[in-house]
Chain A
Amino acid sequence: MKCTHCQLEFDETVMITEEKSPDVYFCCNGCQGVYHLLKDDGLDSFYEKVGNSTLAPPVESDDNAENFDLESFQQRYIKRTPDGFSKVDLVIEGIHCAACVWLNEKILDDTDGVLEASINFTNNKAKIVWDEESVKLSEIINKIRSIGYNAYPYEQSAEDVKASSAQRDYFMRMAIAIFGSMNIMMIGVAKYAGYFSGIKEENLHLIHLAEFLFATIVLFYSGWIFFRGAYYGLKNRIVNMDLLVSGGALITYIYSLTILFGAKGHSYFDSVTMIITFVLVGKYLEVLGKKSAVDAMDKIKSQVPLEATIVKDGGKEVVALDKIVVGDIIEVKNGEKASVDGQSIVELSTFDESSISGESLPVEKQKGDTIYSGTINSGMVMRYEATKNYANSTLSKMVDLLEDSLASKPKIEEMTNELSKYFSLAIILLAVVTYIGWYLYYGDFENALIITISVIVIACPCALALATPIASLIGISWATEKGLLFKEAKFIETFAKATTVIMDKTGTVTQGKLAVKKQSNELDGQNLALLYGMVDSSTHPVSKAIKKYLEEKYGSDGFSLELENIEQVHAQGIRANFNNKKLLGGNSKLLEESGVAVALDSDYTVYHFAVDGELLTSFELEDTIKDDSQEMIAYFKEIGVETIMATGDHQKVAKRVADEVRIEQVYSAMSPLDKAELLTKLKEQGKTVVMVGDGINDALALSKADVAIVMGSGADVALAISDVVVLNDSLKGIKNSFIISHRTYKFIKQNLLLSLIYNVVTIPLAMAGYVIPLVAALSMSLSSLIVVGNSMRIKNKEL
């Protein structure tokens, strides 16, 4: 059954229903709340816009929105507009469809005092302009949170401004090139029809004139970047692809000009625009890739805490992170992030270290234990002593390393450029040799020029250039049909060459959710209701898992006992009373400290329930393994890909999971830096590594991998860094991405061979003067068609 709000499917028994409206079902209170809020505000047309897309259930944010009104926040993130308004740049978390953008903009537009709210769907960045006299930023943030999304501020970096302006510049050049090409193609119909059926000289001249107009704009405006690239290349003594493109186009343009001004023959203004347009589209995609890397970095930086509270001379002071020095005592409240690395000075505290280890269970910290920056205090207020400044802390190091690796990612592009450098040089040399040969032998300038142009046009690496992208495009669209999102085509090749797969445990091999594995004694009657009351009064993952287990086993009706004096015992469990009965629910430590003997010694997470000092039942919980894990590992073995599991979890747990799915190589207790180091080591051994992960803790390793695969439900940061997203979270998707990549790569190789044969046959013919430029252009198109036709066969395989 589908949840009316998020549209995710759940079992009917766990759905929340309403007496007043029997047609609605909700998976959680969050979804129910948002549904009613939207309905009450007249925003229920959101559901029409969502269509069949699924949403992530709303998550309650632990962050206090009032932080957004602090002076230090204002100084860092809020800018004033010339007309007296305030402006902030935010990253909105949780947006995955156009309807989400619509909803957020609508709710903000309906908020008094908000002047402008525009959200970019591609990178989830928002610009909000508002009047501080009418509304506070914290109120705006709370509005966003009320509909199930979250917002973080980010500082628009210089790289972001540069990447955005480059994107707009290339888009403009590309749009004008496409505009010119389309017009020239239309005019070309008349020209080529006239070529075969006869055309008056003056009409042909008019057509040439119109073509000249478009070609001039395309060559000198859109193609300017190639001239610039060629100039800088030559300045550094490098013959690059830009030189071939701009040189070929310019020679063709000059030749066509001579035709326009009276020489005999046909102009090739159409070839000029085509060459520039095709290559420019490829360049634009490259620029988009760079922009998305910058966007990914901004998302990561928005996770960095804004400031820290320092305890000094008996008072407290809120300071910026770079002002913290080693030895400062830092106070962290519940839900706040630790700002720098340090050592705990309180007896006991709990931290959510999922950003470091990937494990969702809170970790207990004793006095003297290390507190990592970026981890969240999930217990009561605590204090620790800074042992590192911000620049040397874990979080800052991770951000720096990510920045470096994102900037240095496109290795394959470097290789392609290197190859095309030689190809360009060879073609130019061949063209020069052809020209000199013909001119010296026959002394006819025009004929020598036409043959030279034929050589350049016929060798224009269209088939070669198409061989990879067209096969990749078909491979990628096939992958998309199977729920796999390849962010760039180049990953198909890397995938096909992969020798090693590193997998994270939680969320990848396992579900990432605790489930009851074993219950020691059955309960019934009042004791069962009491146990339900205990787990229902806590939001701890263990309590939630037991609650779910009880509801699945006994249903959720009839458990209506009201417990009294509920007391959460820090990192241990709950104490409560019911009609003078003393109830205890929690780990072994809680029961032992309360004088209840516990005999169970288990490797799993344990929860005991005792009434009046008598242990009634114990639960063992574990993270469940995904159904198709074993099948996938077996497939990797079959195709000879080495499989490694790397997890932040303890050795015992890691080993148990690895044994169950038959992974032989296991690395446990790995920090994000350890994982990244492992990847670097493997790559140094010459291995091509695919990394599969889902959390913030995997982000660094993912960024180092040759291909990074992330489950669709993964953290936003991980998704931003990933190369391939498995939308349906299934492990079969990973297997499919290997099959699709291998098959596509096979066809890329076939295409390259076909275009190579084409060049080997046609270039000598053109050099020998057997090919006029028109036939050269036609044969170039034919070779492209062969490559396209061959690529169409990729999808002829059942998955």
Chain B
Amino acid sequence: MNAVLKLELFVGLLVSFTLLGILIWSIKKGGFDDSKRMMDGVFFDSEDDLRDAVNRENKQKALRTKKQEELEKKAKKQE
């Protein structure tokens, strides 16, 4: 019985501290800065919104690469 209790406590603590870790990470990333939006999260969570998020990430990646290339070109010219 005691062993079961120990195991339960251990698993319970492990799960809850993992969740706490995710919460802390999310708070630090600014996920809870906008309290109103947090409550309306469901509006930003449809399949389309997830697709948009992926597209946005791809667009950001492409823009960053392009900018990096431009900056490198400029630097080379200056040399």
Decide if A76 is an interface residue (CB 8 Å cutoff).
no
Interface residue total, chain A, C-beta cutoff 8 A: 37
Interface size class of B (residues with CB under 8 A): 35 or more
CB distance from B53 to the nearest CB of A (A): 9
Decide if B14 is an interface residue (CB 8 Å cutoff).
no
Instruction: Known A106-B52, A113-B63, A164-B33; judge A175-B43 contact (CB<8 A).
Output: no
Instruction: Known A84-B71, A164-B33, A203-B5; judge A175-B27 contact (CB<8 A).
Output: yes
The residues of B that contact A168 with a CB separation of less than 8 Å are 27-28, 30, 32-33
- Of the candidates B1, B5, B67, the one whose C-beta lies within 8 Å of that of A84 is B67
Question: Would A115 and B60 count as touching, CB distance under 8 A?
Answer: yes
CB distance from B67 to the nearest CB of A (A): 5
Decide if A592 is an interface residue (CB 8 Å cutoff).
no
CB distance from A109 to the nearest CB of B (A): 5
CB distance from A112 to the nearest CB of B (A): 9
Q: A213 CA to B13 CA in the complex, in Å?
A: 10
Question: Would B43 and A49 count as touching, CB distance under 8 A?
Answer: yes
- Of the candidates A45, A98, A179, the one whose C-beta lies within 8 Å of that of B23 is A179
The residues of A that contact B63 with a CB separation of less than 8 Å are 113, 115, 131, 134
The residues of A that contact B64 with a CB separation of less than 8 Å are 83, 115
Decide if B79 is an interface residue (CB 8 Å cutoff).
no
Q: A85 CA to B68 CA in the complex, in Å?
A: 10
The A-contacting residues of B in range 31-47, CB under 8 angstroms, are 32-37, 40, 43-44
CB distance from B24 to the nearest CB of A (A): 7
Question: Would B68 and A98 count as touching, CB distance under 8 A?
Answer: no
CB distance from A269 to the nearest CB of B (A): 15
The residues of A that contact B78 with a CB separation of less than 8 Å are none
The A-contacting residues of B in range 4-39, CB under 8 angstroms, are 5-6, 9, 12-13, 16, 19-20, 23-24, 27-28, 30, 32-37
The residues of B that contact A176 with a CB separation of less than 8 Å are 20, 24
Question: Would A85 and B37 count as touching, CB distance under 8 A?
Answer: no
Of the candidate stretches A116-124, A232-240, A482-490, A517-525, the one touching chain B is: A116-124
The residues of B that contact A419 with a CB separation of less than 8 Å are none
Question: Would B16 and A179 count as touching, CB distance under 8 A?
Answer: yes
Instruction: Known A83-B68, A206-B5; judge A172-B24 contact (CB<8 A).
Output: yes
The B-contacting residues of A in range 89-135, CB under 8 angstroms, are 97-99, 101-102, 106, 109, 113, 115-116, 120-122, 131, 133-134
Q: A168 CA to B60 CA in the complex, in Å?
A: 27
Decide if A537 is an interface residue (CB 8 Å cutoff).
no
CB distance from B68 to the nearest CB of A (A): 7
The residues of B that contact A115 with a CB separation of less than 8 Å are 59-60, 63-64
The residues of B that contact A175 with a CB separation of less than 8 Å are 23-24, 27, 32
Question: Would A210 and B9 count as touching, CB distance under 8 A?
Answer: yes
Q: Helix, strand, loop or mixed for chain B's interface?
A: helix
Decide if A171 is an interface residue (CB 8 Å cutoff).
yes
Q: A206 CA to B67 CA in the complex, in Å?
A: 58
Complex: chain B residue closest to A217, CB-CB: B20
Question: Would A102 and B67 count as touching, CB distance under 8 A?
Answer: no
Complex: chain A residue closest to B35, CB-CB: A122
Question: Would A122 and B37 count as touching, CB distance under 8 A?
Answer: yes
- Of the candidates A102, A133, A172, A213, the one whose C-beta lies within 8 Å of that of B27 is A172
Decide if A302 is an interface residue (CB 8 Å cutoff).
no
Q: A99 CA to B67 CA in the complex, in Å?
A: 32
Decide if A167 is an interface residue (CB 8 Å cutoff).
yes
The residues of B that contact A120 with a CB separation of less than 8 Å are 33-34, 37
The residues of B that contact A183 with a CB separation of less than 8 Å are 12, 16
Question: Would A210 and B13 count as touching, CB distance under 8 A?
Answer: yes
Decide if A557 is an interface residue (CB 8 Å cutoff).
no
CB distance from B45 to the nearest CB of A (A): 11
Q: A172 CA to B26 CA in the complex, in Å?
A: 10
Q: A109 CA to B58 CA in the complex, in Å?
A: 11
The residues of A that contact B19 with a CB separation of less than 8 Å are 179
Decide if A202 is an interface residue (CB 8 Å cutoff).
yes
- Of the candidates B9, B24, B32, B40, the one whose C-beta lies within 8 Å of that of A206 is B9
A-B interface, 8 closest residue pairs, ranked by CB to CB distance from nearest: A98-B40, A121-B37, A121-B36, A98-B43, A122-B36, A120-B34, A172-B27, A84-B67
Task: Known A-B contacts: A134-B63, A203-B5. Give 19 more (CB < 8 A).
Answer: A83-B64, A84-B68, A98-B36, A98-B40, A102-B43, A109-B56, A120-B34, A120-B37, A121-B37, A122-B34, A168-B33, A171-B32, A175-B23, A176-B20, A176-B24, A183-B16, A203-B1, A203-B2, A288-B35
Residue pairs across A and B with Cβ atoms less than 8 A apart, 26 shown, are: A84-B70, A98-B40, A98-B43, A99-B43, A109-B52, A115-B59, A115-B63, A121-B36, A131-B66, A134-B63, A168-B28, A168-B30, A171-B27, A171-B32, A172-B24, A172-B27, A175-B27, A175-B32, A179-B16, A179-B19, A179-B23, A200-B2, A203-B1, A203-B2, A203-B5, A206-B6
Chain B residues in contact with chain A, CB under 8 A? 1-2, 5-6, 9, 12-13, 16, 19-20, 23-24, 27-28, 30, 32-37, 40, 43-44, 48-49, 52, 55-56, 59-60, 63-64, 66-68, 70-71
